A and B are shown apart, each in its own frame.
Chain A
Amino acid sequence: MNAVLHLAAASRVHGEGATEVHALRGVTFRAHPGELVAVMGPSGSGKSTLLTLAGGLDAPTAGSVWIEGTDLATLDHAGRARMRRTSVGYVFQDFNLIPALTAAENVALPRELDGEKGKVARRLALTALEEVGIPDLADRFPDEMSGGQQQRVAIARAIVGERRLILADEPTGALDTDTGEEILRLLRARCDAGAAGVMVTHEARHAAWADRVVFLRDGVVVDETGADEPEALLVEESGR
């Protein structure tokens, strides 16, 4: 299957000479349609760098980043911006919603920036809000919503317009356990429906929602768990 996201031996070096820092060292990484991948590692391991490269917000100093078969290095600035708006959705720990816009306007914004007519963009936004379970909050402003509701809006914004790559940076970091689990359920559902998801987290319990867990240390992938079937421990379930 073709990967939606492919980092090919990607490296990122900040500074040079004595102050050189290797944030990422030749990492190869793929995320396929229908797959949620968690990236775990202590701070400084390179997991945020991996996510910014994957989203085209930064470029590798060596190696390449491909999204849906396109090498980002072959795109000019406008092309990369367009790729980010149409193919990639972001979810951040602190939601990053625009306070002066309603939920529906926040979700519609990327579509409008992409030239979609206001009405069409709003309709797409309402569909996305429905998918994340808060159609009735469309006209609320961010400060009139709970953290969990704001994160749902952020997820709606990330998926509006059928984007196939969802990048999430500690998406449950600011939420309590139950609300966090709801957010994971939404991300999981979106991936089950065909998107590729990459989620950076330091919580093992949240990473466990992923099909694969990739461990980063000092800018290198040191290990990875596969997506094997559950072991015989719980045979009872499969027999039902």
Chain B
Amino acid sequence: MSIRQAMLAILEQGPMYGYQLRAEFEQRTGETWPLNIGQVYTTLTRLERDGMVEVVESAAEDGSDRTHVSYRATESGRSEVSEWFATPVPRTQPPRDELAIKLAIAVTLPGVDVATIIQRQRSATMTSLQDYTRLKRTGRAANPEAPEDLAWSLVLDSLVFDAEAEVRWLDHCEARLRRAAADRPAASAHATPTATPETSDGVAR
């Protein structure tokens, strides 16, 4: 998982303790992929075990004699980061797509109203798309000044493109299912993807 490399890469900026690291990560990605602090420290512990980071002690900011445990990337940590940036993210194994799986199963089962599944999903995805767009035009992503704000705005763009692609795919599925249903009239009534619960007059034309 890329969280490990992402954390390691952020540590190239300088030593940080867990909460700082998490804040820096979320500065760039919003809370799109929330990190809990336990996860951050577990990852840091593993990175330390693997020799990618080392512990440094730093004085607390309040001037007391307490110390923070901070982490610093080692030489091997830095080369792992370079390696990460130099290697494309593989697409050979597509991430598991629950929606594609759901529709693939649904179209083969009698008695499943695929048209309604598609429409409900489209509304839900459209609602997310509206949320992302609102954040894009009103939040700190609207006029990004700091590099972290630009990063966050690009993450939002990624979410927008993903959601848009999903809506287009759903439109495409709907059109193909309609065509398929029209090509085999009366073969199997359940597959006719026209009627939805709200449609009161599904009059055949």
Contacts and interface: CB of A to CB of B under 8 A. Distances in A.
- Bound together: yes
Interface of A: 22, 25-26, 42, 185, 188, 203-205, 207-211, 213, 215, 217-218, 220-228, 230-231, 233-237, 240
Given A204-B129, A209-B133, A235-B31, A225 B160 contact: no
A211 B31 CA distance: 23
B201 A234 contact: no
Given A208-B126, A210-B130, A211-B130, 14 more contacts: A42-B171, A208-B163, A213-B123, A213-B130, A217-B194, A217-B199, A224-B123, A225-B126, A230-B135, A231-B131, A233-B30, A233-B31, A234-B30, A237-B30
Contact of A223 (B119, B134, B140, B171): B119
B139 interface: yes
B2 to A, nearest CB: 19
B198 interface: yes
20 contacts: A22-B203, A42-B171, A185-B137, A203-B164, A204-B167, A204-B168, A205-B129, A207-B126, A208-B132, A218-B199, A220-B198, A223-B122, A223-B123, A230-B134, A230-B135, A231-B131, A234-B32, A236-B30, A237-B140, A240-B140
B194 A218 contact: yes
A227 B133 CA distance: 12
B76 interface: no
B54 interface: no
Interface string B174-205: 01000000000000000000101011110101
Nearest to A238: B139
Contacts of A209: 133, 137
Interface residues of B, number: 37
A42 B137 contact: no
Interface of B: 26, 30-32, 119-120, 122-123, 126-135, 137, 139-140, 160-161, 163-164, 167-168, 171, 175, 194, 196, 198-201, 203, 205
A180 B23 CA distance: 34
B160 A223 contact: no
A234 B171 contact: no
A222 B126 CA distance: 14
Contacts of B167: 204
B171 A208 contact: no
A228 B130 CA distance: 10
A73 to B, nearest CB: 23
A234 B135 contact: yes
Instruction: Count chain B CB atoms within 10 A of each CB in A25, A208, A228 and give the residue with the most.
Output: A208
A222 B32 contact: no
A204 B130 CA distance: 9
Nearest to B194: A218
Contact of A225 (B32, B130, B198): B130
B49 to A, nearest CB: 31
Contacts of A218: 194, 199
B198 A208 contact: no
A226 B26 CA distance: 28
A230 B133 CA distance: 10
B198 A222 contact: yes
A230 B168 CA distance: 22
A222 B119 contact: yes
Instruction: Count chain A CB atoms within 10 A of each CB in B127, B140, B205 and give the residue with the most.
Output: B127
Contact of A236 (B26, B127, B200): B26
Contacts of B200: 220
B163 A204 contact: yes
Given A42-B171, A215-B123, A234 B131 contact: yes
Contacts of B130: 208, 210-211, 213, 225, 227
A25 B123 CA distance: 21
A96 B196 CA distance: 38
B194 A213 contact: no
B23 to A, nearest CB: 10
A139 B198 CA distance: 51
Given A185-B137, A222-B196, A25 B201 contact: yes
Contacts of B201: 25-26, 220
